Structures are given as structure tokens and as C-alpha cells.
């Protein structure tokens, strides 16, 4: 009789160790190995179409990336002739700021040096199709659409907002529309 429990134990142990639920080809759900968990993600591995995009329901979409412009021909009824690229801020002083807006970040970026950035992270905003209001502790930025095309006038209420090499323009338009405006050649200048 002593042999019976030993054989039974042997059979039970054999059956336990012989079961392998993770055979090739089986659809078994399990936890990833530590090698997979610790694998670094390479920059640029995400394809462009996989990046999150601002959707049409996002009120910030039209304010996403704004480029500084100026009134060149105030008498013109054609928006793309009336406004244009500010020559002095691009070619001479190279001190204008473009504005990039996201839900949790506002950036003022020098148009000649994209590494020269001032960021706002502590703000609230309200937005619709024609106006964006950004409130910080000391200032309020109001971008209001002033033409049929997306041309925005920027007003700053509160403390003066002065940034080195990132001068705030009075008018902005969407970055993707810049090619429709007259662009001056800077010639021998740095811009």
C-alpha cells in the first residue's frame, strides 16, 4: 500500500509538468516578458499618420500654428494683398515670434531660430471659430478673427508681455496660408 501514494504523486507531478499552455501557434494571453517591457522606443518609430491630430471638433485647430503678418496695403480689399509678411522682423532684426497653441502648451517661437522658444504651461483658455482667449496669472491674450480668411488680431491685456528675440506681432495667420501672401526676398540679410 505504501507504493500506491508514491505512484499517485508521481503521476500527478508528471501531469502538472507536462502541461504547457504556451505552445507555438496557440492564442494564449499572458503578461509580456521583461525583455519586452524594458525595450526602449526609438524616436521616429511612430509613423506620421499615427500621431494624434487636432480634429475638426477641436476648437484650437484653427489656432494650432500661427505666423506673424502685418498690414501692408490697408486700402486693399483682397486679404492676401492687404496683409503680408513683415519684412523688417524677418530680414533685419529677425525677432518675430510665431505662436503654437495646444491644449496644455502655448509656445512663442522665433521665426528665424526654432530652438529659441518661450513656453506657457500654466493657463486657461476659451475658444470658438473666431476667438481664442488665453488667460495666465498676469495677462490675457485674445486672438480675434478680423477677416473672412483666418487672419487674427492679437491683443494682450494686463502686464506687458516682452520676450527677447520673440516680438509679438499685432496680426497672425495660419502657418499653412503663408505661401498665399507676398513674400519678400531678404537678399543679403540673415532672415
Q: Give me the DSSP letters along 95-106.
A: -BEEEEEETTEE
- Which pLDDT value is given to residue 127? 92
- pLDDT digit string, tens, across residues 13-53: 444 444 444 443 332 222 223 222 223 333 333 333 333 33
Averaging pLDDT over each range in 17-26, 78-87, 130-139, which range is the top one?
130-139
DSSP state of 167: B
Angle at 102 between CA 99 and CA 103, to 5 degrees: 140
What is the C-alpha to C-alpha distance for residues 145 and 131, in angstroms, rounded to an integer? 6
How much is the pLDDT for 42?
A: 33
Mean pLDDT of the chain: 74
Domain membership flag for residue 191: no
| Within a domain: 117 | yes
Asked whether residue 144 is domain-assigned, the answer is: yes
**pLDDT confidence of residue 39:** 30
Is position 186 within any domain? no
pLDDT reported for residue 148: 93
What are the pLDDT digits (tens) for 97-111?
999 999 999 999 999
Residue 39 belongs to a domain: no
Number of domains in the chain: 1
With pLDDT > 70 as the criterion, what percentage of the chain qualifies? 65
Q: Pull the grid cell for residue 127.
A: 475658444
More confident residue, 56 or 180: 180
Judge residue 34's burial from the number of C-beta atoms within 10 Å of its C-beta, 0-12 exposed, 13-18 middle, 19 or more buried: exposed
Give the model's pLDDT for residue 190.
52
Percent of the residues in the chain that have a pLDDT greater than 90, as a whole number: 47
Q: Give the pTM.
A: 0.67
Cβ atoms of 173 and 70 closer than 8 Å: no
Q: Is 2 a member of any domain?
A: no
Range with the poorest average pLDDT among 11-15, 70-74, 84-88, 90-94 = 11-15
Asked whether residue 168 is assigned to any structural domain, the reply reads yes
Question: CB within 8 A of 16, min separation 6: which ones?
Answer: none
For 110, other C-beta atoms within 10 Å of its C-beta total: 20
For residues 162-183, average pLDDT = 89
Range of the domain at 69: 54-180
Does the residue 72 lie in any domain? Answer: yes
Amino acid at each position: 500500500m505504501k507504493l500506491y501514494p508514491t505512484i499517485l504523486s508521481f503521476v500527478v507531478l508528471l501531469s502538472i509538468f507536462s502541461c504547457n499552455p504556451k505552445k507555438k501557434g496557440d492564442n494564449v494571453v499572458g503578461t509580456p516578458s521583461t525583455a519586452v517591457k524594458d525595450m526602449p522606443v526609438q524616436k521616429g518609430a511612430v509613423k506620421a499618420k499615427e500621431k494624434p491630430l487636432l480634429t475638426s471638433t477641436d476648437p484650437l485647430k484653427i489656432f494650432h500654428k500661427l505666423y506673424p503678418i502685418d498690414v501692408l496695403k490697408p486700402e486693399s480689399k483682397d486679404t492676401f494683398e492687404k496683409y503680408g509678411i513683415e519684412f523688417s522682423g524677418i530680414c533685419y532684426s529677425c525677432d518675430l515670434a510665431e505662436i503654437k497653441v495646444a491644449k496644455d502648451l502655448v509656445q512663442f517661437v522665433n521665426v528665424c531660430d526654432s530652438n529659441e522658444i518661450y513656453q506657457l504651461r500654466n493657463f486657461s483658455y476659451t475658444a470658438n471659430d473666431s476667438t481664442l482667449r488665453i488667460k495666465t496669472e498676469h495677462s490675457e491674450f485674445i486672438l480675434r478673427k478680423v477677416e473672412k480668411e483666418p487672419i487674427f488680431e492679437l491683443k494682450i491685456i494686463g502686464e506687458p508681455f516682452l520676450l527677447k528675440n520673440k516680438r509679438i506681432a499685432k496680426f497672425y495667420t495660419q502657418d499653412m496660408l503663408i505661401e498665399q501672401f507676398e513674400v519678400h526676398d531678404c537678399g543679403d540679410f540673415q532672415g
